[in-house]
A and B are shown apart, each in its own frame.
Chain A
Amino acid sequence: MILNASGCLDALTAPDVARALDVFVTKTVTPLPREGNAPVRIAETDLGMLNSIGLANPGIDRFITRHLPKLARLGVPLWVSVGGSSAEDYSDICSRLDDHVEVAAIELNVSCPNVESPTAATAQIVAAARLATRKPIWTKLSAAVPDIAEVARAADEAGADGLSLVNTIRGIALDERTLRPVLGSVVGGLSGPALRPVALAAVYACRAATELAIVGMGGVRSGLDALELIAAGANHVALGTVLFADPDAPSRVRAELASELATRGYADSDAATASAHAASLSTTTT
């Protein structure tokens, strides 16, 4: 499947782009509305971009009453990305979404850059969400942790159904004239091609550590980039920054991936999953 990375597409503003995906993942929804960070919110870097949007979103109440009915009419399977500042926040939102048949799955935006133990925090959030919903739970992790495989195992043991790898990592851009930070919030999340080797390493490590399904993302621009994430262990691939420059990327990357798979003699992407690993692993993890 080809998905979008959460926060990289507004399906209601660009429905045709969303319909070209196999799954549309919403921007992260939080308990209360968030206006987001003050401008400047984006900066281009040499091989990537920084964003500090600040999880701008309408809050779960308005999301359910105003946005969800319109998103359901798109006809694309819908995953809702959920964020919060405590396990209770995640649990509350998951229970609110549980009765909505139009929500196919929930992605927990568990990036926790500022907690002492990302492993314990992730386990706590996933466990709370697991009790609150029967829907499939995908846990989105940051690679900026000492050992992402340990966090992945904790998510697995706490009841996650899959992993979304990876979230952005923190970066700063300085204005070349003033030497002051470009972004209003100083620090932003780095995405784009600069993140691709980081994503490959995270997917590789988590595939070796768990049997959870994996959505790989981070700097994918082409079908070959997507295939590399699949080879590292991803079952599905999400597109992020590439969508900003190229709204036609979903169909283009899908076609390029099909061509790459065919050229290499793979029947489908499942056959290529984890092919970067030892043979014994690739046969046990699809």
Chain B
Amino acid sequence: MMRREQRPVLANEQVGPYTMLRVDRGGLDPGGPGQFFMLEAPGRLLPRPMSLCLAPSHELAFLVDPIGPGTRALCALEPGETLTILGPLGNGFRLDVDRPVLVGGGIGIAPLPYLAAALGDVPVVLGFRSDWHAEAAALLPRAEVCVEPRLVTELVPPDRDVLACGPEPMLAAVRQLAPTAQLACEAPMACGYGACYGCAVEIDGELRRLCVEGPVLSGTEPS
């Protein structure tokens, strides 16, 4: 059930180039793996969509890549400051898979720790652009990790139910390997709850709202 609450920041931890923002959960439901929340970046007009990375008791934790003014403002939040959060939103991963493998690229690993916790002991393969970025692999201690120029698609074992999140070229390559893969996609969103129509992506040949239809899509082409 979607709720909007102002929550205190508990911790701001550096994970390679990324920031793990830990927030007091309050009355917010963590939702399922692959679902997301809108985080209000201080001083910005629009909130930013972030999938849930970890859900320890009483907490929600988000892995944020400071790539623009909104995400930089989120990463600058100090413990004790408050953050307004709306969620959980969208459709997450289906967990009824027989032989799962989790595939993550770069900041796309964000939803995988929570997903791995839900699925139990599952294989994980991760790819990063540098050793510094690959420090985030510590969030998934048993993962097999590669760094460019080696690509994560080289590590994906055959005949598995693939659950993936990463940059668009990686998702396209994963889909070539595993046409029924569940892919967590990304698009700019103003609202996250179906109001703005900003996050349209091509799904089954039509432009549709990623926040309503996704962000996890299966057997379809991400834009």
- Interface residue from A7, A35, A241, A245 paired with B207 (Cβ < 8 Å): A35
Pairs across A and B, CB under 8 Å, 11 listed? A35-B207, A39-B223, A42-B46, A42-B190, A42-B196, A47-B45, A48-B45, A56-B207, A241-B190, A245-B190, A247-B193
Task: List the B side residues contacting A8 at CB < 8 Å.
Answer: 195-196
User: Do B197 and A41 touch across chains, with their CB atoms under 8 A apart?
Assistant: yes
User: Do A243 and B191 touch across chains, with their CB atoms under 8 A apart?
Assistant: yes
The distance in angstroms between the C-alpha atoms of A34 and B13, with both chains bound, is: 45
Task: List the B side residues contacting A192 at CB < 8 Å.
Answer: 45
User: Do B195 and A9 touch across chains, with their CB atoms under 8 A apart?
Assistant: yes
- Interface residue from B45, B69, B189 paired with A193 (Cβ < 8 Å): B45
Task: List the B side residues contacting A241 at CB < 8 Å.
Answer: 45, 190
Distance to closest chain B CB from A39 (angstroms): 6
A13 close to chain B: CB less than 8 A: yes
The distance in angstroms between the C-alpha atoms of A3 and B43, with both chains bound, is: 26
By Cβ-Cβ distance, the 10 closest A-B pairs, closest first, are A13-B194, A42-B198, A244-B191, A244-B190, A53-B197, A41-B198, A9-B195, A10-B194, A44-B46, A35-B207
B177 close to chain A: CB less than 8 A: no
The distance in angstroms between the C-alpha atoms of A241 and B197, with both chains bound, is: 12
> Which residue from chain B places its CB closest to the CB of A7 in the assembled complex?
B197
Further contacts, 8 of them, CB under 8 A, given A41-B197, A47-B45, A49-B45: A14-B193, A43-B188, A51-B198, A53-B198, A244-B46, A245-B38, A245-B191, A247-B4
User: Do B46 and A49 touch across chains, with their CB atoms under 8 A apart?
Assistant: yes
User: Do A244 and B200 touch across chains, with their CB atoms under 8 A apart?
Assistant: no
Distance to closest chain B CB from A105 (angstroms): 21
Given contacts A35-B206, A49-B45, A246-B4, contact A42 B188 (CB under 8 A): yes
Output the residue of A44, A243, A245 with the most chain B CB within 10 A.
Answer: A245
Task: List the A side residues contacting B207 at CB < 8 Å.
Answer: 35-36, 38-39, 56
B181 close to chain A: CB less than 8 A: no
Range class of the B interface residue count:
20 to 34
Distance to closest chain B CB from A231 (angstroms): 24
B134 close to chain A: CB less than 8 A: no
The distance in angstroms between the C-alpha atoms of A159 and B212, with both chains bound, is: 40
Output the residue of B188, B190, B194, B199 with the most chain A CB within 10 A.
Answer: B190
B40 close to chain A: CB less than 8 A: yes
User: Do B195 and A39 touch across chains, with their CB atoms under 8 A apart?
Assistant: no
User: Do B46 and A36 touch across chains, with their CB atoms under 8 A apart?
Assistant: no
The distance in angstroms between the C-alpha atoms of A45 and B71, with both chains bound, is: 14
The distance in angstroms between the C-alpha atoms of A192 and B196, with both chains bound, is: 13
Distance to closest chain A CB from B86 (angstroms): 7
User: Do B194 and A14 touch across chains, with their CB atoms under 8 A apart?
Assistant: yes
Task: List the A side residues contacting B194 at CB < 8 Å.
Answer: 10, 13-14
B50 close to chain A: CB less than 8 A: no
- Interface residue from B4, B70, B195, B198 paired with A14 (Cβ < 8 Å): B195
The distance in angstroms between the C-alpha atoms of A248 and B84, with both chains bound, is: 12
A186 close to chain B: CB less than 8 A: no
The distance in angstroms between the C-alpha atoms of A133 and B170, with both chains bound, is: 53
